[in-house]
Amino acid sequence: MAVFLCYNIGMELLILQKLVIALGLSGLIGLDRERSKQKYEFDDLGGVRTFALVGLLGVLAYSVLSPALFAVVSGGFFALVIATYVVSSMKSGRTGATSEIAAVLVYLIGVLCGVEDFLLATVIALLVFLVLHFKQYLHTFASKVNNEELISTAEFIIIAGVVLPLLPNIGYGPYGVFNPYVIWLMVVFISGISFASYVAIKLVGPKKGIGLTGFLAGLISSTALTLSFSAQSKKNTHIVNPYAFAIIVASSAMFFRVILEVAVLNREMLALALIPMLTMGGVGLVAAFVLWFKKEGAKVSSQMQKEVLDIESPFSLLPALKFGAIFAGVLFLSKAMTVWFGDSGLYVTSVFSGLMDVDAITVSVANLANNGLAEKSAVYAITIATMTNTVVKGGIFLFLGSRVVGRKIVAIFTLMILAGGISLLFV
């Protein structure tokens, strides 16, 4: 009898959990619809009450009814949504079906709660809410998208969703390092970081200032921004601190990009990697904002802001293929040099890799650390590459840009590198 009672209580609690989660998720979406109705004053499918009831209908229809009745109720609900759309569009003349599609998704969220897939239900509900809530931002972003950006987006979807699943996940060649699937996965990963940063710049726009947009641009390519601003600084010799501020912020972003890459690829070495990366990135950001608050620091030229905002889409197929080739080469070289010469060989590879880019060496040693390379050696290699790349960017600005700005940048870069070197004592 006690077992039976416990079973009943457990079943009742499970049903209650389904109802509460479905009600909460559908109510969240309903709140956004209610807010939109009041803000834009249009007659729509429904608000918070309607959407909450739709979510409850979904969970109850699946949990209580037989499969046949569930199909009938679902069909009836979809027919009701279609009829509501037809009547509403004829009455108001509108053609959008956002609320109707949202209602169907809320019903399916309720069904997912009925099958106890609460995680998927929550993820879908949050995605629906974000798409609805950020309507204005999405429309503004869409108005700024040009044809080249659309093509870049399509190419990225193809390499991530079509090409990647078709590649064999098998190691080929010396040391088995040439794995087509892993190499292309790294291409997708690195391209995805740059592409997401580019989208963020377009969404943020000029309102957030050169600090945030410069940081996001640094996540794409701090070297490219350094080359651009070095040429500008020679033409605008009266501007000093803003250029130094922008370059240091963008260069500091590189260290946080490395942290993100390590966090995704090798969680075990993240704690060690955080020490030098946060030290150098943190010192850079502090120094940048000291410049910002000095006289003339906040007077960012419109040309500087325009240069960051007009940055081209970082993704296209040819650069992605180039990165794949570079990554494969650095991965092989890192493995071979480690086998032949130990850690010293790996560090030499890091120096040469850092002259061009830090992504290839970062993802290479993060992958190698998953397959036997000592985590401490991997962190040392990444740190050396980032230091080398920082030196290169300082040299670019010193010799191609304004000498006054270049000297400030080199001085702060030197401080960052020294801080990073000291931090390695604690790795």
Low-confidence winner among 16-25, 88-97, 283-292, 381-390 (lowest mean pLDDT): 88-97
92-105 per-position pLDDT tens digit? 666 667 777 888 88
**In the numeric block, which tokens belong to residue 174?**
């010396």
Q: Which residues contact 280 (CB under 8 A, 6 or more apart)?
A: 252, 255, 386, 387, 390, 416, 417, 419, 420, 423
pLDDT value at 4 more than 50: no
pLDDT value at 2 more than 50: no
Q: For the residues 58-79, what does the mean pLDDT come to? A: 84
For the chain, give the percent of residues with pLDDT over 70.
70
Q: What are phi and psi of 172, to 5 degrees?
A: -120, 165
Low-confidence winner among 128-132, 182-186, 391-395, 405-409 (lowest mean pLDDT): 182-186
Confidence class of residue 5 from pLDDT cuts 50, 70 and 90? very low
Confidence class of residue 369 from pLDDT cuts 50, 70 and 90? confident
pLDDT value at 109 more than 50: yes
How much is the pLDDT for 315?
Answer: 57
314-360 per-position pLDDT tens digit? 556 666 677 677 767 777 777 777 778 777 787 888 888 787 778 77
Q: Which is higher by pLDDT, 299 or 349?
A: 349
Confidence class of residue 11 from pLDDT cuts 50, 70 and 90? low
Cα separation of the two ends of the chain: 60
How much is the pLDDT for 289?
Answer: 81
250-290 per-position pLDDT tens digit? 888 889 888 888 888 888 888 888 999 999 989 888 888 88
Low-confidence winner among 30-34, 116-120, 126-130 (lowest mean pLDDT): 30-34
**In the numeric block, which tokens belong to residue 252?**
């500091």
Cβ–Cβ < 8 Å for 157, 191: no
**In the numeric block, which tokens belong to residue 31?**
């709140």
136-182 per-position pLDDT tens digit? 666 666 666 666 666 767 777 777 777 777 777 676 667 666 777 77
Cβ–Cβ < 8 Å for 124, 109: yes
Q: Is 333 exposed, middle or buried (0-12, 13-18, 19+ CB in 10 A)?
A: buried
pLDDT value at 220 more than 60: yes
Side chain identity, residue 363: V
Kindly report the average pLDDT of the chain as a whole number. 75
Cβ–Cβ < 8 Å for 359, 191: no
With H, G, I as helix, E, B as strand and everything else as coil, classify residue 214.
helix
pTM of the model: 0.66
Confidence class of residue 197 from pLDDT cuts 50, 70 and 90? low
Distance CA 326, CA 360 (A): 7
Q: Which is higher by pLDDT, 208 or 175?
A: 175
Low-confidence winner among 23-32, 118-127, 237-246 (lowest mean pLDDT): 237-246
How much is the pLDDT for 278?
Answer: 92
How much is the pLDDT for 317?
Answer: 65
Cβ–Cβ < 8 Å for 295, 223: no
Distance CA 112, CA 122 (A): 9
**In the numeric block, which tokens belong to residue 335?**
């493995």
Provide the residue ranges of all domains of the chain, joining segments of one domain with +. Answer: 2-133, 146-426
Q: Which is higher by pLDDT, 235 or 69?
A: 69
What is the number of other CB atoms lying within 10 angstroms of the CB of residue 338?
24
Low-confidence winner among 10-24, 118-132, 165-179 (lowest mean pLDDT): 165-179
Q: Which residues contact 244 (CB under 8 A, 6 or more apart)?
A: 288, 291, 405, 408, 409, 412
Q: Which is higher by pLDDT, 171 or 419?
A: 419
Distance CA 274, CA 256 (A): 9
H and E: helices and strands count for the chain: 18, 0
